[in-house]
Amino acid sequence: MTEGEPVTPGEPAAQAPRPPEAVGGSGGALQAPPVNQFDPQARTALSNLMLAMADDEFVLGFWDSEWTGIAPVLEEDVAFASLAQDEIGHAQALYRLLADLDGGDPDAIAFGRRPEEYRHARLLDHPRTDWAFSVARRFLYDTADAARLDALVASAYAPLAEVVAKMRREETYHLRHMLAWLERLATGGDQPRARLVAALERLWPDALCVLDGVEGDDLLVEAGVLAEPLAATRRRWLASLAPELARLGLPGPPPAAPAAGCRGPDRGGDFRWLWEQFTMVRRSDPEAVW
Amino acid sequence: MRTVSETEVWEALAEVPDPEIPVVSVVDLGLVHAVELDGRRLKVELLPTFVGCPALELIRASVAERLAGMVPEVEVEMTFAVPWTSDRITAEGRRKLRDSGFSPPGPAPASDRPLFATIAMRPTAACPWCGSDDTTLENLFGPTLCRTLFWCNRCRQPFEQFKAV
């Protein structure tokens, strides 16, 4: 986000970005194009984008799985297990696309890197903390991710467009669920509301990072992979959220741009702890065959 | 070896049950994207229902096992070429779901709008046991990725709905 970029709450509900002219055909069975359709810089940017998306989904999936067995109500044990499973599934599909593009093994990309090599947004460095914190984080992430997926629907990189089309159909349930919880905590009395407001204030600066920190996104717009630069996606996301936040009287984003280092390499101890958990089995025997 | 027809391939596919909801077959669920039969070669492409569904490999392997031997070369693959949607569940599949206590999904949300616009979506379901529309959504999520939980206020029974995706 450039300094002073306006966030206009009055903007009409976000419009789906128009598909770039270069896209041949819309939806349907697109023939997978050869991977050398892009010049080397754009291709590197495509890898950056897919790795950022995959790591976002992967790390959030692991944090949310932490609620299994201890969520405030049984229904949320079930719901957060499903949400986490969806995200890990999306990460798996995206790591597969990365392996198809750059070579390598999807499992090695997922589990074989050092903590500083992960490229998830800083929003996902926080531990699950309390329930309001997890709800606030997931609401901000899911809505930002929805805006990002909208910008990829007509992507010129057909394998990505295909996976995105599938992911979007599942995300509708995530969005609805998280809005319901946001409302419930915002209107559920003093303590839930205070916890939610505190969580949103703490998380907003890092939430802006979900739509930032992918080097070369301008090249991806030129190549028809993304419908718009991420800064424009971020404006569209904030415009779509503004009416809901105003209705519930909840804090909005800070005016400043996201600080540098949105996607690593500096990570706190919380992510290192999670990394040790989710890589533990693989590190015990990296060559094991399952 | 006698010649196998495409109809026979589809009949064989109709015998492969979904591992999580075995009353319906992979054909009932609309999972079969393409059948290419070329003399000695048979290629079947399947669509994943949910990206993270742990049963995908099981489904692929069950289909491969059922088709094995029909022609010398059998290949079964998963593809994202078109997104699977619950609108692909056949009328027969919907009847089987209802008969076994699952409410079939309503129409899937339009996919050409901004995703955020679908946030107001709230599934409704008729009770598969008594047919009443007086039902309450209990949880958008359920025991597997593809299910939502409801309660029937008339016959006072819980039931599940296949998600509309």
Fold of A40-249: Ferritin (1.20.1260)
User: How much is the pLDDT for A4?
Assistant: 39
Neighbours of B23 (CB within 10 A): 14
Q: Which domains are assigned to chain B?
A: 6-78 (3.30.300.130), 101-162 (no CATH)
Residues 6 or more apart whose Cβ sits within 8 Å of residue A4: A255
CA distance B135 to chain A (A): 17
**Cα distance between residue A28 and residue A166, in whole Å:** 12
User: How much is the pLDDT for B12?
Assistant: 97
- pTM here is 0.89
Tokens read off for A1: 């986000």
How confident is chain A (290 residues) per 10-residue block, as mean pLDDT?
Answer: 39 41 38 68 97 98 95 94 96 97 94 97 97 98 98 97 95 93 95 98 97 96 97 96 96 87 93 97 87
Residues 6 or more apart whose Cβ sits within 8 Å of residue B92: B28
**Cα distance between residue A120 and residue A190, in whole Å:** 33
User: How much is the pLDDT for B123?
Assistant: 87
Report yes or no: B71 and B42 within 8 Å, Cβ to Cβ: yes
**Cα distance between residue A68 and residue A91, in whole Å:** 19
- Break chain A into its structural domains and give their ranges: 40-249
Does the distance separating the beta carbons of B85 and A175 come in below 8 Å? no
Give the length of chain A. Answer: 290
Report yes or no: A182 and A193 within 8 Å, Cβ to Cβ: no
Does the distance separating the beta carbons of A166 and B83 come in below 8 Å? yes
* A74 and chain B in contact, CB less than 8 A: no
Report yes or no: A166 and B86 within 8 Å, Cβ to Cβ: no
ipTM comes to: 0.89
Report yes or no: A210 and A56 within 8 Å, Cβ to Cβ: yes
Task: Please report where in the chains the tokens 């206020």 appear, as a residue.
Answer: B153
Does the distance separating the beta carbons of B114 and A89 come in below 8 Å? no
Check the CA dihedral A195-B118-A14-A233 and report its sign.
positive
- Most B CBs within 10 Å, among A76, A82, A152, A183, to test the B interface: A82
User: How much is the pLDDT for B1?
Assistant: 59
Burial A189-211 (b: 16+ CB within 10 A, else e): eeebbebbbebbeebbbbbbbbb
Ranges of residues in chain B with a pLDDT under 70 are: 1
